[in-house]
Amino acid sequence: MPALPHRLKKLRCCPPPPRVTGVVAQTGGGSGEVLVAWTPLPPAAKVAFYRVYRRVTTGVWRPLAAVTAAAVDPGFPGKVVLLDFAGTFPGGGSGGGDEDGSGRRTYTVAAVGTSGLEGPWSAQAVGSPP
């Protein structure tokens, strides 16, 4: 089993990225969008992309998008940004998406390193479409 020590060495040498911080969610445009933004991790974290999750129901999350650090918006200087449209997932709330009864959507973000390992999830951010 010489391959096992090699795999363990790889995990030891390449830890997952740290927790993403600065996650916010706010009203987007006029068609049910929510903007999700966060502070990018430094280059030393070796992030390949960010995985954004949206809550379907309590305790159930679906991956919404994989976003690179190139996704910027002038309205959010220094942040990575995702625009989430209504009805991304079938079913759910009154807007046709996964919003709760009041129309709010809950998000969390994790960084995925160049090693392929996903870091811990960020704090949750809640936004409402217009």
> Which has more pLDDT, 10 or 16?
16
Cβ neighbour number for residue 57 with a 10 Å cutoff: 10
Give the whole-number percent of the chain exceeding pLDDT 90. 48
Are 8 and 106 spatial neighbours (Cβ–Cβ below 8 Å)?
no
- Please check whether residue 2 lies inside any domain of the structure: no
Residues spanned by the domain of 19: 15-127
- Please check whether residue 56 lies inside any domain of the structure: yes
- Please check whether residue 49 lies inside any domain of the structure: yes
Question: In degrees rounded to 5, what are phi and psi of residue 101?
Answer: -60, -25
**Per-residue model confidence (pLDDT) at position 96:** 47
pTM for the predicted model, two decimal places: 0.82
**pLDDT tens digits, one per residue of 84-116:** 877 666 554 544 455 666 678 899 999 999 999
Domain of residue 107, CATH code: 2.60.40.10
Which residues touch 47 (CB under 8 Å, ≥6 apart)? 17, 40, 41, 69, 111, 112, 113, 114
Count structural domains, the chain. 1
